[in-house]
Chain A
Amino acid sequence: MEKRRLIFYVVLACVIGLLAYTLLLRADDGGITWLSDYKEAVRLARQTHQPLLVEFRCEA
Chain B
Amino acid sequence: MLSPPDSPLGKQLRQYVCVRITRMDDVNVALFDRDWNNAVYYFVLNADEQIYMRYGGRDAESADTYLILDSMEIALSKGLELHRQYQKGELKRTELPKPLYPREMPLLVKRTFEQRACVECHLIGDFQNVQRERDGKLDKLAHLYRSPDIKTIGVDLDVPKGLVVKESRGAVQAAGMKSGDRIVALDGTPIWTFGDLQYRYDKVDRRAAGIQLTVERAGKPVDLAVALPVRWWWTDLRYRQSSVEPRTYFEDRPLTDAEKQKLELKPDGFASEVRYVADFSRTMKSHELKVGDIVYAVDGVERDDAANSADLFIKIRKTAGDDVMLDIIRGGQRMKMPLKTYRMSFRK
Q: Give residues in A with beta carbon < 8 Å to B.
A: 27, 29-38, 40-46, 48-60
Nearest 4 A/B pairs, CB to CB? A31-B5, A41-B19, A46-B47, A51-B83
15 contacts between A and B (CB under 8 A): A36-B19, A38-B21, A42-B49, A50-B16, A52-B16, A52-B43, A52-B46, A53-B13, A53-B76, A54-B32, A54-B45, A56-B32, A56-B42, A56-B43, A57-B22
B18: which of A42, A53, A58, A59 is its contact (CB, 8 Å)?
A: A53
Q: How far is the CA of A8 from the CA of B62 in the complex (A)?
A: 56
B3: which of A32, A40, A41, A58 is its contact (CB, 8 Å)?
A: A32
Q: Give residues in B with beta carbon < 8 Å to A.
A: 1-5, 10, 13-22, 24, 26-27, 32, 34, 38-47, 49, 52, 76, 79-80, 82-83, 87, 118, 120-122
Q: Is B5 a contact partner of A54 (Cβ separation < 8 A)?
A: no
A60: which of B15, B42, B120 is its contact (CB, 8 Å)?
A: B120
Q: How far is the CA of A49 from the CA of B15 in the complex (A)?
A: 10
Q: Is B17 a contact partner of A57 (Cβ separation < 8 A)?
A: no
Q: How far is the CA of A56 from the CA of B44 in the complex (A)?
A: 12
- Which residues from B are CB-within-8-Å of A56? 21-22, 24, 27, 32, 34, 38, 40-43, 121
Q: Is A30 a contact partner of B5 (Cβ separation < 8 A)?
A: yes
Q: Is A53 a contact partner of B10 (Cβ separation < 8 A)?
A: no
Instruction: For B14, give the chain A residue with the smallest CB separation.
Output: A32
Q: How far is the CA of A2 from the CA of B40 in the complex (A)?
A: 53
